[in-house]
Structure 1
Amino acid sequence: MSASYLVFFLLGLLTIGGAVFMINFKRVVHMVIAVGVSFLSIAGLFVLLGAEFVAISQILVYSGAISILMLFGIMLTKHDASEEGSKSKGRVWLTFLGVAALFVVIFTGIQNTNWSAIPVKENTSSLSNVKEIGIEVFTKYVIPFELVSVLLLVALVGAIVMAKKEEE
C-alpha cells in the first residue's frame, strides 16, 4: 500500500466522518465545524487528483465563505438551546445502521468494479492546470461566467434590501 492510498483513505474517512458528525451533532456551531472538516477533506481529495485550482477554490468558497455565512446566520438568528432537539437512542442506532449499510454497498461496488487502466493523453503543450481552466472559462464559457457574476450581484443587492427591511 502506497502513501497516496493511505492519504486517500484518511481524507475519505474525514469527509464521510464530517458529514456523519454534522448529521448527529446537536449544536448548530458544531455542525458547521463538522461541515468545514468535510469540505477541507474534499479539497485534499482534489489535490490528490491533481486539480490544485479546484482544491483552492473548494477551500476559499466552501470552507471559507459558506462556513462563515452559516456561522453569521446562526449568530444573527434568535434560538434557544431548548429548541435544539435531542435524539433518541433508536434514532442514533438507525442512523448508524443506515451509514453502515451505505458503506457496505459502496465498498462492494468499488471492489467489484473492473478498474482497467485508461490511457492518459500526453499533454504536448506546457500549459498548467490553472492556465487551461482560465483559457476555457474566458473563451468558451465567457457568457455563462458573466451571467453568474450578474446573478451574484443581484443576490447581494437583494440580501441588502431584505436586511434593511428587517431593521425598519
Structure 2
Amino acid sequence: MFNFNIEFTGEFVAFFLLAVCAIVGAVLAINFTKVVHMALSLAFTFISLAGLYVLLGAEFVAFVQVLLYVGAITILMIFGIMMTKHDGEGQEPARPLLETLAAIGCLCLFGILFYGIRSAEFPAEAASLPADNTLEIGKLLFTQYAIPFELVSVLLTVAFIGAVALAKREEDPQ
C-alpha cells in the first residue's frame, strides 16, 4: 500500500516546493489577523498554483491563474479593504476544546484522503493531448465558443460598471 519508490528529479523537487508554498500560503491566509496580509498570502498561494499548472503542462490555465486571480482578484480584494471602514474589533476568546477538535478532524480528513488517493487505481490516458494546448483552446474560444466568450465579457463589463456606480453612490452623500 505504501509504495514510496520516489525518483528525485527536478520536476519532483519543483512540484514539492510549489506544493509546500501553496499550502503555507493558504495556512497563512487563514491565520493572519490583518486583512492585507491575508490578501498577499492568498496571492502567494495563487502564484504557487500557477506554477503547479505549468508543471502539469497547462500553460494557458497557469496564465489565466496569474492574470485573473493574482492580478484581478487580489487587487480587487485590496481595493475592497481600502474602501471599507474598519473599526477596531476585539479578538475572539480562545477556545482550546474547539481548536483541538478541529485539529483532530483535519488529521482524520487527511488520513482518509491519503488512504483514498493511495489505494485508487487511475486508468491509463485514453487519448493523446495536442502538442500546443494553448493554440487549441484559442481555436475553440474563437470558433465554437465565440458567443459565450463574448457574453461573459459583456457580463464582466456590466458588473464592473455596476460596482463603480455603487461605489460612487456611496461617496455622494457628504
Q: Same fold (TM over 0.5)?
A: yes
Q: Structure 1 91/122 Cα, relative in aligned 2: closer, same or farther at 3 Å? A: closer
CA distance in structure 1 between the aligned counterparts of 2:43 and 2:93, rounded to whole angstroms: 23
Shift of 1:119: 4.8
Q: TM-score, normalised by structure 1?
A: 0.85
Partner AA of 1:77 in structure 2: T
Partner AA of 1:134 in structure 2: G
Q: 2:146 aligns with which of 133, 136, 142?
A: 142
SS in 2 for 1:140: coil
CA distance in structure 2 between the aligned counterparts of 1:122 and 1:49, rounded to whole angstroms: 12
Shift of 1:122: 6.5
Which blocks of at least 5 consecutive residues in structure 1 are unaligned?
A: none
Shift of 1:83: 4.6
Q: TM-score, normalised by structure 2?
A: 0.82
Shift of 1:66: 0.7
More helix by share: 1
Which blocks of at least 5 consecutive residues in structure 2 are unaligned?
A: 1-6
Alignment-derived partner of residue 105 in structure 2: 98
Shift of 1:37: 1.6
CA distance in structure 1 between the aligned counterparts of 2:154 and 2:147, rounded to whole angstroms: 11
- Identity, in percent, stands at 48
Q: Structure 1 148/122 Cα, relative in aligned 2: closer, same or farther at 3 Å? A: closer
The answer to whether structure 1 residue 71 and structure 2 residue 71 are counterparts is no
The answer to whether structure 1 residue 153 and structure 2 residue 160 are counterparts is no
CA distance in structure 1 between the aligned counterparts of 2:129 and 2:151, rounded to whole angstroms: 34
Q: Which range moves more in the overlay, 2-11 or 139-148?
A: 2-11
CA distance in structure 2 between the aligned counterparts of 1:87 and 1:71, rounded to whole angstroms: 28
SS in 2 for 1:82: coil
Q: Structure 1 102/68 Cα, relative in aligned 2: closer, same or farther at 3 Å? A: same
Q: 2:89 aligns with which of 82, 85, 88?
A: 82
Pairwise CA RMSD: 2.2
Runs of 4+ in 1 over 6 A off after TM superposition: none
Shift of 1:152: 0.8
**Number of residue pairs matched?**
165
Shift of 1:69: 0.8
